[in-house]
Amino acid sequence: MTETLPHQARADLPPQWTPAEVEGDLYERWVERGYFTADADSDRPPYTIVIPPPNVTGTLHMGHALDHTLIDVLTRRRRMQGYEVLWLPGMDHAGIATQNVVERELAKEGKSRHDLGREAFVERVWQWKAEYGGKILGQMRRLGDGVDWSRERFTMDEGLSRAVQTIFKKLFDDGLIYRAERIINWCPRCRTALSDIEVDHSDDDGELISIRYGEGDRSIVVATTRAETMLGDTAVAVHPDDERYQHLIGTEVELPLTGRHIPIVADPHVDPEFGTGAVKVTPAHDPNDFEIGQRHDLPALTIMDERGVITAHGPFEGLDRFEARPAVVAALRQQGRIVAEKRPYTHAVGHCSRCDTVVEPRLSMQWWVKVESLARAASEAVRDGRTSIHPPELARRYFDWVDDMHDWCISRQLWWGHRIPVWYGPNGEVVCVGPDEEPPGGEGWQQDPDVLDTWFSSGLWPFSTLGWPDRTRDLERFYPTSVLVTGYDILFFWVVRMMLFGLYAMDGEQPFHDVFLHGLIRDAAGKKMSKSKGNVIDPLDWLDRYGADALRFTLARGANPGADMALAEEWAAGSRNFCTKLWNASRFALMNGATVARPVPARDRLTDADRWILDRLDETVSEVDGLFEAYQFGRACDALYHFTWDEFCDWYLELAKVQIAGGGERAEATRAVLGHLLDALLRLLHPVVPFVTEVLWTTLTSGESLVIAEWPARRGAERDGTAARRIAGVQKLVTEIRRFRSDQGLKPGQRVAARLSGLGEADLAGHEGAVRTLVRLDAPADGFTGSASLEIGLPGGTVTVELDLSGAIDVAAERRRLTKDLAAAEKELAGCEAKLANPRFTDKAPADVVAKIRGRRETALADIERIKARLAALPGA
RNA sequence: GGGCGCAUAGCUCAGCGGGAGAGCACUCGGCUUACAACCGAGGGGUCGCAGGUUCGAACCCUGCUGCGCCCA
């Protein structure tokens, strides 16, 4: 066989993998060649994922990096499996956040959005987007996201806006959208309504002030954390059964500072145990009070404007709510009405999730989605398995939420967003306008000034991005999407919304088959990353320093369903090391002529090592397949890491060196096995580490691209148990000899003459050469005398190794080693015998378990006997 | 207040009925021609506490303690 190898030309990989120099070009080539562009007319089965649209103002953070890595792993694997993959990218317009950004910019010019007027302001936002928006899209390229850029969407683009208007009209016509005056969460800084989930609650220090209303035996004491709201009180409520207040129910008291008289009402929702059992009722500024007000037909008095500034009420007019609070308390104190003050008083306070301003409950007219029937359908779709949530523990949280969902406040008092398509006529007409309809013209008609919640449009994302409301080819092909991958923290914000709208708009067809919810990124100590804590890790920094593959591998390897992930620099370095290892191993294989040009020879022409590693590859393929299917990214990566490093590199490559060194047909066969293994391994790793594998694979195979290569299938050959047992024997032999050498202080490189016996009995006759090479033992010369020896127990028999150490052996070290082994064997024996002595164990345990324990006892007994003999034979024993 | 989850090696985490695992960190020895971003060897754990079920429990059940998250 000729040694002139066609592959020598391509064996000149650079000695080092330098991701920063090649990743960018590789990515652009993938995009140019259209690998990520989905073909709606192919006959492949579809696999669809829509990106959780990042915020147009945002930049890539670790949470995105994790989410995108997982999606990219899923889609790249499916593409290799022959699916027509669509990973659809895009962004949402982030109403409040974007408006804030542009308003801040205007503020620097000393202007407000009102100075510009609505139209000019919106124009200005578009300009801002064109100039600064969507930074994240460029950053996604650096990560390697295999998205279909030709289908990129934006929630404010024409098609998606049309979708918004279409569904609004449909919901309106079906009576599922209505307008009502209620208490909503109001952000006085953003000056807009917020939905319940846009409010974050925290326990803050405040004060609890007890105030006496009325005089003498007609007085009553109420406690409040928001004293200023007393200006808007229209009643005091007590529990109907509260004996303390029976005489007061139905009477009136004078409300201090205002001179108004307000009734004392009985309401079963008052908790008589809390405080004095009497509560002030401010229907316009508290959701519970609003309900009490409804039940008792009380007036609702709004005492603040949209900025949280007190309106009217004499001396308090014009004060901010937080200035008004002490002012009101002082005035009450002056009148001797403060009965008690408690500071600090810790209580839950709602904050705007966008700007952290304390939310002000406020009575106002807003648009709502009536969610009851939609939520029922959303619940049903998960209950009957049309959509399954992974990990399943989180399904419960989903049910708890949708089964008790409150109507959704969808109007926002902003300018940036989808304007509510409702027109009001001069005579009180209310007309909802569909996308193809002309708005009513003429004198006195006005469009509703508000826009819709951003989540309203992102709730349509899985189908609006595919062309809905038109029945497009994309929609037919790619809906329902295969899986939604996102963090569990936006289950309610977004996932639920998509379920509501998807089922409604698509005639009961669910928006995704699976929902996979991953955890949140934390720092090395498990703490949440935050700018204020200064523990934020920037993925771009890791991209620069370790490469995209290292970042991706770190994130994928750490992703365990339902669990958060702690990250530290060392993890990234470890992943980078893994890529380097893969690089070096591949370089070695290529330098030694690894090839895919020749098929792997028939099994009976292969060595034990070949058969073992091919079987292990097969097992790894199955294992990794199963784990990826179950969204077990972390374990899949671990399995790949272990196979690559601990089995392929540490053992097979070392054994292959021996096989190649022998030359001839064996060497050629080994080159084919190496080529086949590397080919499959690179394919398996490609979804997680696409860049380094692409370079190595194209070098190995001269193929066009790994992106469009086939995912490895199991060979299906019957596992060779004999080969596996023999390689396990070789491994034990090598490890034990290395341990002995290490204990005896022999340098790793130092060659030592040795005689091995008993290999035949242990069924390892053919492996002596490999063992000698791996542990640097030379053949015994004439007149060899072993000055030291060790015995290694193997299933078939005991192998004895006699070494010429040409010097005194370290007896103490040897005794330590043997004593330790003896203790372990004795512990093992004791454990086995205890079990076997128990008749209930031998009766009830499965036969194979009992047999296994019996076998372990025999092994332990033999070990003990052998070790004891060695110990007794040691000098000075 | 209601609900959910987690407590396993120094750190971060897998394992979830039959031999305690990984990565990183640590100790010792090595530039052994793929790899010092590495190689070889090693140390380290009453699997939170207390009960129960079982022939057998890190794993299932109950209670407790301590953390975390979600919702009010």
Q: Tell me: the pLDDT tens digits for A797-841?
A: 899 999 988 766 788 888 988 999 999 999 899 889 989 988 999
Q: How far is the CA of A140 from the C1' of B23 (A)?
A: 27
**What's the CATH number where A844 sits?**
1.10.287
pLDDT at A207 over 90: no
Which of A335, A361, A387 represents a domain boundary (last residue)?
A: A361
Residue A399: inside a domain: no
- A674-691 pLDDT, tens digit per residue, is 999 999 999 999 999 999
Position A50, amino acid: V
Q: Which domain holds residue A769?
A: 724-803
Residue A868, domain member (yes or no): yes
Q: Single out the residue of A252, A854, A98, A139 nearest to residue A540, CA to CA.
A: A139
Choosing from A762, A784, A803, the residue where a domain stops is: A803
Q: How many CB atoms within 10 Å of residue A336? A: 9
* Cβ A399 to strand B below 7 Å: no
Residue A602 pLDDT greater than 90, yes or no: yes
Residue A877: predicted pLDDT: 55
Query: Which one is predicted more confidently, A271 or A376?
Result: A376
The single-letter code of the amino acid at A466 is L
Contact, A500 CB vs strand B, < 7 Å? no
Q: Of all residues in chain A, what percent carry a pLDDT higher than 90?
A: 55
Distance, Å, A875 CA → B45 C1': 36
Is residue A594 assigned to a domain? yes
- Tally of domains within chain A: 4
Q: Which CATH number belongs to the domain containing residue A287 in this structure?
A: 3.90.740.10
Of the pLDDT bands very low, low, confident and very high (cuts 50, 70, 90), residue A356 is: confident
Residues 338-377 of A with CB under 7 A from strand B: 348
CA angle A761, A763, A765 (to 5 degrees): 95
Same domain for A617 and A678, yes or no, is yes
As a whole number of angstroms, the distance between CA A413 and CA A191 comes to 7
Give the pLDDT band of residue A4 (cuts 50, 70, 90).
very low
A531 is in an annotated binding site: yes
pLDDT tens digits for A419-444? 999 999 899 899 999 998 988 888 88
Whether residues A210 and A357 fall in one domain = yes
Residue A50, H or E segment? strand A46-50
What's this model's pTM, rounded to 2 decimal places? 0.89
Say yes or no: A627 and A678 in one domain.
Answer: yes
Banded pLDDT at A37 (limits 50, 70, 90):
very high
pLDDT for the residue A395: 86
Identify which of A113, A144, A190 has the alpha carbon closest to the alpha carbon of residue A35: A144
Q: What is the pLDDT of residue A170?
A: 95
Give the SS3 label for residue A819. Answer: helix
Three-class SS state of A273: coil
Which strand (E) or helix (H) includes residue A803? strand A798-804
DSSP, collapsed to helix, strand or coil, labels residue A177 as strand
Q: Tell me the per-residue pLDDT of A495-514, one tens digit each, with 9 for 90 and over.
A: 999 999 999 999 999 999 99
Listed as ranges, the nucleotides of chain B within 7 A of a protein C-beta are 3-5, 11-15, 18-19, 22-25, 28-32, 34-35, 37-43, 54-56, 69-72
With respect to residue A329, please indicate whether it lies within any of the assigned structural domains. Answer: yes
Taking the stretch 843-872 of protein chain A, residues with Cβ within 7 Å of any atom in nucleic acid chain B are 844-846, 849, 852-853, 856, 859
Distances (CA, A) of A518 to A68, A391, A515: 11, 9, 10
Residue whose structure tokens are 């500072």: A257
Q: Is residue A275 part of a domain?
A: yes
CB of residue A204 closer than 7 A to nucleic acid strand B?
no
The CATH number of the domain holding residue A659 is 1.10.730.10
Averaged confidence pLDDT in chain A: 90
